[in-house]
A and B are shown apart, each in its own frame.
Chain A
């Protein structure tokens, strides 16, 4: 039985396996956003407990659990950074990701490729993605910081993500 199916069935050992498989990814994202080990550990607990409480929130037919957990970890870290209540409901966070990423070897291949794509990306786009995604800056903050018009920032963030997608698939 797949891991999430076992979690749905209330199997507590499955949570232990889930932790072994994905804790490093979830923690790495939270630590990068929060720059604080204690906060990152709290986010890690929060993300896994949300899956335990609402296992149906993850739709296995539509994406990778690793990517889903990583995005939820980023969102919860930003909520913590901004000291606000969670904006995104985890059930609404449907992710389209072609790779399964269930195994370490699969994740390693994907991570290496993503890093390569980011390294090859237009540095302006890469910088905007870093500010918006990992530093949690709003596009208004980014426009103020970079001196670029608000519309340009918005367009470049979207273009950067689409470029990441196209080069990753290519």
Chain B
């Protein structure tokens, strides 16, 4: 009888699909009852997934997609539906619908009357807050005016005699959900194109964070960018897209920076 350590030694071979016959069956039985081996096997398969992704090559032939779509169409799948509702259940629900609708409307009227006076108090408070925000906005707009002025000169500091490289700086606040982005030494973009900033979340697809075009000095900026709710950024990236903006990146990454 083999020990746990011996089985663990063979996990990589099993993940590589190399074990056969009795050894394979024995190991499968052990893995079924051993949480540590099960977890390690998943990790090893994750490692193989990474290894596989290191492959690069040409696009598959164009006919291949057509072939797949034809095969899929030839094997339509029936999706199981939920349990059917019986005739008795249906007639009971049909009878109850008008009564439930009337009860709902009555409750709505009561709630609306109660909310009216509360809303008037809230309105007064909001007017006060609006006046305060308006004065803060005046001060901030002066700063933004400087940052985004057409004649604003951005000076990027580099080591002496080093060639200038495109670079970007994203400043964001997770608590305020705001982003500012500044880029230097960017090449001009073709007509109809613009640079697009992307938030790379810790999970899920990249999220667009704004478009910009560099000025004649190669400087570009996004001010007033917002972080969408529920997104935790792990990196930012820049690509070139159509100037109308894209929902997902369609060209190679030009600038990328990870957080931390």
Contacts and interface: CB of A to CB of B under 8 A. Distances in A.
Interface residues of B, number: 61
Nearest to B56: A28
Given A12-B69, A139-B13, A157-B13, A28 B43 contact: no
A97 B69 contact: no
B86 interface: no
A75 to B, nearest CB: 5
A131 to B, nearest CB: 11
Contacts of A161: 12, 15, 44, 47-48, 51
Contact of A52 (B43, B54, B67, B75): B75
A139 B17 CA distance: 11
B253 A105 contact: yes
A143 interface: no
B13 A100 contact: no
B48 A103 contact: no
Interface in B35-76: 39, 41-61, 64-65, 67-69, 71-73, 75-76
Interface in B203-260: 203-206, 235, 237, 239, 248-250, 252-253, 256
A102 B72 contact: no
Nearest to B252: A108
A63 B49 contact: yes
Nearest to B50: A114
B42 A75 contact: no
A142 to B, nearest CB: 10
Given A63-B46, A97-B50, A109-B253, A87 B17 contact: yes
Nearest to A137: B18
A41 B12 contact: no
A104 B77 CA distance: 29
B16 interface: yes
B196 to A, nearest CB: 11
A100 B202 CA distance: 9
Interface string A79-116: 10000000110000111111011111111111100110
A130 to B, nearest CB: 9
13 contacts: A27-B58, A27-B59, A29-B55, A31-B55, A44-B68, A52-B72, A53-B77, A102-B204, A104-B248, A105-B200, A105-B206, A118-B54, A165-B43
